[in-house]
Amino acid sequence: MSLLLKVSDLWKQYNGSPVLQGASFSFDGNGIYVLMGDNGTGKSTLFRICALLEQYDRGQVNYISNGQLLPHDIELRRKITLVLPKIGVFNTTVFNNVAYGLKIRGLEKKEISDRVASAIDFVGLKHKKNQAALSLSSGETQRLGIARALVINPQMLFLDEPAAFVDVKNREIIEEIILRLKKERKSTVILTTHDIRQADRLADRLLILVQGRITTP
Amino acid sequence: MTSIIQGFTQAFWLILHLDAELLAIILLSVKVSGTALVAATILGLPLSALLGFKRFPLKGLMLSMLNTFMGLPPVVVGLLVYLLLSRSGPLGFMALLYTPTAMIIAQSILAFPIVTSLGHSAIIAVDPIIKQASMTLGASPLQVSWTIIREARYGIMSAIIAGFGRVMAEVGAILIVGGNIAGFTRVMTTTIALETDKGNFELALALGTILLGISLLINLALHFAQKRGMAQTRS
């Protein structure tokens, strides 16, 4: 059962400065969507709105499943996930960080343990399972953020600049993870990047945010 | 100098030959201060969370008042509790004056602003990104709040330790509301005050040493618990 996102004529301003000015687009299937745009064009704002973390001034953000419009409630929030550029590491172990999303959903210990092990393995952090999450490198931290999100099997995964603060090696690892997410888990991944070559390597569909509106090249 | 040395010698002797009366005084001290701290924590931490998470009118005034009350003079608290619990006071019918319960009430009032204010500081010091991270992972508002409190746990523990220091060393308020009745409301600090008045400096110093030792032990236990937790999450 796939989840569709349809954004229409979205407007948002901060202190009188417009950021989004009628952005419209839709994500309608599995694959990798890459959103590009200059700094300050509203990519993160758009993601935060799509992840239901932020209100918008005007327009529509509709999530549709089986032809039904879904209400913007916690049930919907649990179907989608956003990994922020600074992921917000919980002051505990790698395992507990990844288990967080499952624990708050009230899953059983055995299932949590199995799914966390699989997610940690997927992002290559298996050997760091019991290590303090705050002691990870920036590249590992970013992978932790992805593991924390994918463990809950989101129907739509937003990655806001997932490789912005990492070295070349970790960037390659993260790109590999994103491609595997699409191939092995059939996930819908929407990510932002400034790197046109990275966009070229990953994107099934490229979107560009210019002056608060979305265009396709 | 001689009396100080004698005091320490006697303290050592008292610790070695702990008699029943002294043991009762020590146990009552720990019971009164411990109960007061638990009460202040149970009442203070939810208020810390409320002040940390919610916006409401007069919040700033409440915080300013709490910060002011952190330095409440114990004798003033003792006097107010005395007036409340005295026979002609509004709560006089409860007959609590000169009981350990009255002492617990007074000490709770003294510890409450410390635990609440420092607990609030610990909660608002948590990086706002933690709130967003827990929301992106599907946490409900209550789960988000609990996550932030968990992140603030070491700061909250420090707030409780500070509250403990306040109640354990307190003498003015419990002297007024407890009456320092031998075998009933006499605790270590009030005994020290009494023995000093009587010129019995050796016993006062001995009790002071024991009090310091107990405080040190409890603080060390809390400190190691805190350090162990931090080491587990940072190693």
pLDDT of residue A1: 57
- Identify which has the larger pLDDT, B205 or B96: B96
B2-234: CATH superfamily: MetI-like (1.10.3720.10)
Averaged confidence pLDDT in chain B:
90
**Percent of chain A whose predicted confidence (pLDDT) is above 70:** 100
pLDDT of residue B130: 96
Mean pLDDT of B201-211: 83
Q: Is the pLDDT of residue B8 over 80?
A: no
| Per-residue pLDDT tens digits for A155-207 | 899 999 998 888 888 899 999 999 988 888 888 899 999 889 999 999 999 99
* CATH number for region A3-215: 3.40.50.300
pLDDT of residue A36: 94
Q: Render the burial of A84-106: b for 16+ CB within 10 Å, e for the rest.
A: bbbbbbbbbbbbbbbbbbbebee
Complex ipTM, two decimals?
Answer: 0.91
CA-based radius of gyration for chain A: 17
A107 lies within 8 A of chain B by CB: no
A44 lies within 8 A of chain B by CB: no
pLDDT of residue B232: 58
Q: In this complex, do A78 and B138 lie within 8 Å of one another by their Cβ atoms? A: yes
Domain ranges of chain B: 2-234
Determine phi and psi for A213, rounding to 5 degrees.
-125, 155
Q: In this complex, do B151 and A91 lie within 8 Å of one another by their Cβ atoms? A: yes
Q: In this complex, do B137 and A149 lie within 8 Å of one another by their Cβ atoms? A: yes
Q: Is the pLDDT of residue A110 over 90?
A: yes
Other CB atoms within 10 A of residue A210 CB: 12
Q: In this complex, do A135 and B235 lie within 8 Å of one another by their Cβ atoms? A: yes
Mean pLDDT of B55-68: 94
Mean pLDDT of A17-45: 89
Q: In this complex, do B136 and A53 lie within 8 Å of one another by their Cβ atoms? A: yes
Highest-confidence segment of A145-149, A167-171, B4-8, B196-200: A145-149
A103 lies within 8 A of chain B by CB: no
Indicate the pairing of strand A31-36 with strand A80-83.
Answer: unpaired
Pair of tokens at residue A186 = 């059939």
Angle in degrees, 0-180, between the axes of helices B20-53 and B141-151, rounded to the nearest 10: 130
Other CB atoms within 10 A of residue B185 CB: 21
Its pTM stands at 0.85
Distance between CA atoms of A70 and A50, rounded to whole angstroms? 13
What length is written for chain B? 235
pLDDT of residue B201: 79
- The alpha carbon of residue B105 is apart from the nearest alpha carbon of chain A, in Å, by 36
Distance between CA atoms of B38 and B35, rounded to whole angstroms? 5
Q: Is the pLDDT of residue B235 over 60?
A: no
Read off the DSSP letter of residue A132. Answer: B
Q: Are B192 and B204 in contact (CB under 8 A)?
A: yes
Q: Are B155 and B170 in contact (CB under 8 A)?
A: no
Q: In this complex, do A132 and B139 lie within 8 Å of one another by their Cβ atoms? A: no
pLDDT of residue B231: 61
CA-based radius of gyration for chain B: 21
Q: What angle do CA B18, B24, B27 make, to 5 degrees?
A: 100
- Which of B137, B234, B235 has the highest number of chain A CBs within 10 A, making it the mutation to test binding with A? B137
Mean pLDDT of B18-43: 92
Averaged confidence pLDDT in chain A:
92
Distance between CA atoms of B20 and B219, rounded to whole angstroms? 25
B2 lies within 8 A of chain A by CB: no
- The alpha carbon of residue B135 is apart from the nearest alpha carbon of chain A, in Å, by 7
Chain A CB contacts of B143 under 8 Å are 104
Dihedral angle sign, alpha carbons of residues B124, B126, B132, B134:
negative
Residue B140 burial by Cβ neighbours in a 10 Å radius (0-12, 13-18, 19+): middle
Chain B CB contacts of A91 under 8 Å are 151, 233
Distance between CA atoms of A73 and A83, rounded to whole angstroms? 19
Q: In this complex, do A86 and B151 lie within 8 Å of one another by their Cβ atoms? A: no
Q: In this complex, do A78 and B130 lie within 8 Å of one another by their Cβ atoms? A: no
Closest CA to B44 of B101, B92, B112: B112
B21 lies within 8 A of chain A by CB: no
Q: In this complex, do B140 and A83 lie within 8 Å of one another by their Cβ atoms? A: no
